[in-house]
Structure formats: C-alpha cells, structure tokens
Amino acid sequence: MRALSHTFLFLFLAQTLIAKGNVYVQSTKAKLLSQPKLSADGFPLQMGDVLAPVSEQGLFVQVRAENRSGWVSKLFVSPLPPGNQIKLGITSNSSEAVVARQRASDFTKTAAARGLSETQKMRVRGEGDLYDFESLRWVESVPFPEQLSQQDQPNSRVENLNISNSVYSNSELNVLAETKAEVKVGRSLAARLLKKYPVVKDTELTGYLNTIASRLASVSSRKDLSFRVGVIESNEVNAFACPGGFVFLTTGTLKKIQTESELAGIIGHEMGHIVLFHNGEFKQSNLFLDILSGLLSPPGGEVVNAATSTLLDEMEKQLFETGRDMKLELEADEAAVGLTGQVGYSPTGLSSFLNTISKAEGTESLKKTHPDTTTRIAKLVYFESILSTDNTPFVKDRWSEFKSKLKP
C-alpha cells in the first residue's frame, strides 16, 4: 500500500517544451513566425497541428512543421493534446471508476476488520487545519461569464469567450487525465491559501475579475481549464497562481491598481505561470486511491492524500518563501504583455503597476518571491516595444466602478 500511495501523483519538473517532445497548436492565433516576436510575419497554423520543438528563446519556441520551420509563441501551444474543458465539481462515472470504487470499498471493509490499521497508514488529510474547501467552492460557484457584451469584445475575431470552439466542443474529446490531475492539486493548494487568508465573498467583483480572465484565456493554449479569479483579504501587495487555473489577488493589490489594463496585466502574469506549466506537468492520479480517499472522508468533506500533501508543502513554500526561478517570472511577465495586448488592453499595464508599487509599503512578500522590480520593468519595456497592437480596439475600462467599492 505504501508503494501504491507514493505512485498517487507524479510531478514532472522539466520546465522546457523541448524536454516534453512534440507540442500541439491550441489557439487560432497561432502562426509559424519568421522571428521570435508576435508582430513578425507568419504562416497560419491550424488547431491541433503537431509541432516538433528545436530550441527556445524566451516566450517563443522554434519548431518544425512538416516541411516548414519557424517560431511560435508558447501562449498558443501546449505539450498536451486537444481535450475538452474540465467542469469543476464533475466526477467520473466511467466503468473504470465503478471498478475502482468497488476495489476501494472492499479495501475499507478489509481494513475495518483489521482495526483500520491499513487505512491509517495512508495518512489521509482532511480539510480541518490546513484547508478551506468551503471558501474555494464559493469561488468556483460564482457564475462563469459565458459571453461578454458586444461593446466589451476587443474585436470580432477574438475566439469565442466561453472558451469553446469546433475542436474543444467536440463531444468525442474527453477531459485529459493530466488536466484532471493538475486541477486536483491546484484545488488543494488554493484551499490551503484560503485557509491562510479569508476570501472576499463579493459576487459582482469576482464575476468582473473572471470576465477579464476569460478574455485573456480566449487567446491562450489552456482551453482545457476553467480559470477562476478570487479576492483574498490581506494588506500585502501580492497575487498567487495555483495549478489548474486558480488565481488570487489580495485586497492590498487591488487598492494600488489604477486601471483595468493594470489589473489585466497582473492577472495575465499569474495566468502565464499556469499556461506555461511553471509548476510542471501533472500525470493522472491513481483512481483507486482517489475514490478510497473519498470513501474515508466525512460527509460533504474533501480529503488530500499524503503524497499530494507532501507536494503541496513544497508548492506552498514556493508561493510564500522561495519564489520561482527568475527566468520563469520574466517569462510570465512577457506572457502578460502578450495576452493583454492581443485582447485590447494596454500592454503597459503590468509595468505601470510595478512602477506604482516599486516604493510602496506592504510589498515585502512580493519582493521576497519575485525578481528585482527595476529589472522586471526594464524587461517589460522591451517586451512592450516588440508587440504590435495595430487594429486591436481597446477594452472599455470599468475598474473605477469596482475600486470605489473596496473598503479603505
């Protein structure tokens, strides 16, 4: 049983697309570019095209596609093949799940006859001292914006903002096992975060933030995720990204933001970590152990396997103490510029916000886990200079409507 529990989940720490083999086109925005920049001339690629990576340069990967070669943005490709979008809270009813459920039930009966000794060895953790799944379920319950009004759409060519298209709405496609595993870990990490900081249960504000996230997601490769943005109560200026599409902003951060473009830049940076697999690539968890954990949990509760708990310890330490590698933070900054600029926000939003907080108080946590702000701003100015936003109408700025509602 110990060996089985240790195979519950594997986290692959390779951070480059080259290490992952072929990549798949996941966006109608994708082009095979002549140079590693979004404004370069390019040959249109099709959804689902398979590309062979050759080398990388920042946010771009050099690839071969049949008899052509060129560059493509990492925002538009994924090491995962096309799959349907995961619906939060949906469980599997497959025959495999039925068999696993029976095995789990038989195991618990055997363990009960032995005084639960085997069950105790699994060290299944509940939601008590480390997790707040109830608050997380509230964040997940806020209506996801299926569409934006016509006046808010950046342009008529933006992909459908309910994050579906002919490829992803194909009923023959399943939710990828890797996506399920990523969301499972991400939900647990998010529940830990919400145990530390109370969630702000403002449906209107949260829905507005999700509208921004859905707009940014519409031009990214992660059509398999349902991105969720929540607000947490803290005077610290910081934001957090959890695998599986969960992003959290502190109230301290929101109070420093001046425009919707700045807000989009911050959300875009956190989404960049998720879109670019900065937490690694997850493999399917053991279905038998998933269901066994469910049978052991109290009614209405959620549990986390010991192996996953160990992984979460490391991820939580990264969020609050060690931070990510500088290369990954700068890549997420570049992703923020690319995502915001393509959908109608000023690409200078993130650099503008960093300028504002560069000498502000309450930024200790941010500075501890991120590269030097001056270095980030200098890099962002360069990223902004090579991004073309021609023929992209700007989005109407609604931030002032919501900022006025924040508590002093």
Tell me the per-residue pLDDT of 125-144, one tens digit each, with 9 for 90 and over: 554 678 898 999 999 999 86
Mean pLDDT, contiguous 10-residue spans, the chain (408 residues): 39 47 89 90 91 91 90 93 79 51 54 50 56 92 62 42 40 78 91 95 95 94 94 95 96 96 97 92 59 53 73 88 90 95 94 91 86 93 83 84 85
- Residue 375: both structure tokens together: 């270095």
Pick the CATH number of 18-78 from 3.30.710.10, 2.40.30.10, 2.30.30.40, 3.40.50.10320: 2.30.30.40
- Residue 379: both structure tokens together: 């890099």
Maximum Cα–Cα distance for the chain, whole Å? 70
| Phi and psi angles of residue 51, each rounded to the nearest 5 degrees, phi first | -120, 145
Round to whole Å and give the CA distance between 328 and 335: 10
Bridge partners, residue 248, by sequence = 230, 240
Q: What is the side-by-side order of every strand in the sheet holding 228-232?
A: 228-232, 246-250, 239-242
Report the pLDDT value the prediction gives residue 147, as an integer from 0 to 100: 45
Round to whole Å and give the CA distance between 86 and 177: 10
List helix spans (H) across 68-127.
Answer: 95-113, 117-121
pTM of the model: 0.82
13-67 tens-digit pLDDT? 344 554 557 899 998 889 999 999 888 899 999 989 999 999 998 899 999 988 8
Spans of all domains in the chain? 18-78, 95-403
Cβ–Cβ under 8 Å, residues 406 and 204: no
Identity of the residue numbered 219: V
Round to whole Å and give the CA distance between 267 and 241: 9
- Residue 31: both structure tokens together: 């082009």
Report the pLDDT value the prediction gives residue 138, as an integer from 0 to 100: 95
